[in-house]
Structure 1
Amino acid sequence: MDADTEVLLRLAFDRAPANQANQAIHRVREEVGGESAYATSYEILLPDGNVRAWLLDYQLPRLVDYLESRGAKLPHCGGVFLSVFSGDTLHFIHARDAVALFSQWSGLSFDELRKRYGPR
């Protein structure tokens, strides 16, 4: 596992075996959403290499567009968590934490991310 993958996966607030993904995602939705809201899982399967470049070039534009389109505005990204598959483990990361890391890695502020990748 490369250093960038380790940095990302250290943000995880929970983990589960990947072969129990459906049950684990359901559980985390209920925990994150609480009684009044239903949280949303944004699923990502990490590649074996070049994780930072892949996340910034491929996932970040899609993630920002998704978050902004559904009303989970940056930087808080309310109610959305990432379900990140890496090897045989599923890592749960709050979207706000992942976006903050991607902002740091890319050198783009939240406003710049919204302008560049948000809905038109």
Structure 2
Amino acid sequence: MDRTDLIDVALDVAGGGGHERRAAAVRTVQATIAPGERPVAATAARHPGHFHKGALVPTTHRLLLLKDGEPPLPVPPEAVTEVRVDRTRLNGEVLQVVAPTGAHRFEDVVEAEPFAERLRTGASSA
């Protein structure tokens, strides 16, 4: 895979986060990329308990949350059994992704419903 695709996505979401934050996003992508992996879509989201958003990216291999140099949270698309969007006053749009590995919650998701639909379509076609 051309690593620049995922790196570009991570940098877009990191935005003006400063040099250190952008460098951490690049390191995270470089450490986790699989051969032939390509991003399918992307949005920004927070993991519960975290202040900064990361890039929530479904790829051809998995769903990744790329954030601040932390290890990604991988969820294979074929393992996704349910995708829900809820809205709360405190956490904005909340995306719930259910898989055999457990339920994964992402908060303050940008354009959550179109993103969820993309996940549902990908999960049902796997």
Give your verdict on TM over 0.5.
Answer: no
Give the alignment's TM-score, normalised by structure 1. Answer: 0.31
Which structure carries more strand by proportion? 2
Larger helix fraction of residues: 1
Q: Whose relative contact order is higher, 1 or 2, with alpha carbons under 8 Å and at least 6 apart?
A: 1
